[in-house]
Amino acid sequence: MHNIKVRLDTIRELNILPESKAKKLSVKDLVQGSFLELSENVFKVQSVSRYLDVKWSSFAPRKNDYIITELELFSIKNGKKSYLEWEQDDELEVFLTTDLVKLREISVAGRKLTTALLEDIAEEEEGVISFKGVNYEYSEEDTWAGRFSKSGDLKDGTPMRAYEFESNDGKCLTIETWHEESDEKPDREAFISKQIKPSAIKILAA
């Protein structure tokens, strides 16, 4: 059971903005300590991190910076942690993490997904992985490399790669590999997310 006291203490921190002010804000205005409402759930922003899009092979910066912002959220409703990512390209795009995935539950043609198989898919620019009976097709267009930082210069951030897969119903399964300079074998983690409309987010305090 999630800590009720922590949830109650978090609720006491919430000072809701007047609606006239809140309407002028968007997800881009959220900072650590902000509150938002989404899908009948209220979240507090626990932290804000950023990714700098970089070159795939070398992790070197590109000519023009492109930033993806990640918000770590704490749910007042159930005490669970989730993540919200947003990026501004031609339009504002927002993604909500819905599930964390155990890597041992991902397979490729009946075989356990290894780092070598993942790299083969990226090299071939096509492939399908399976998770709990659902197939996810590799998306070369959406796969990217970045440098991650919670503070400081993004160009010195932790290098990582994000391999993106998509199901027929539009859900995204992302596998991240983290490449610390001292690591011979990168750490891996995976999660499922879905794209949401920016208008679905109501800013309560920022």
- Domain ranges (residues) in the chain: 4-99+197-205, 101-194
Residue type, 112: K
pLDDT digits (tens, 9 = 90+) for 142-192: 999 999 999 878 889 999 999 999 999 999 999 999 998 766 788 999 999
pLDDT score, position 180:
82
Q: Alpha carbon of 67 to those of 9, 13, 55, 113: distances in Å? A: 33, 30, 13, 29
pLDDT score, position 60:
95
pLDDT digits (tens, 9 = 90+) for 115-152: 999 999 999 999 999 999 999 999 999 999 999 999 87
pLDDT score, position 183:
60
pLDDT at 1 exceeding the cut of 60: no
pLDDT digits (tens, 9 = 90+) for 38-94: 999 999 999 999 999 999 999 999 999 999 999 999 999 999 999 999 999 899 999
The CATH fold assigned to 4-99+197-205 is SH3 type barrels. (2.30.30)
Q: What is the 3-state secondary structure (H, E, C) of 96-165?
A: EEEEEECHHHEEECCEECCHHHHHHHHHHCCCEEEECCEEEEECCCCCEEEEEECCCCHHHCEEEEEEEE
Rounded CA separation 43/105 (Å) = 29
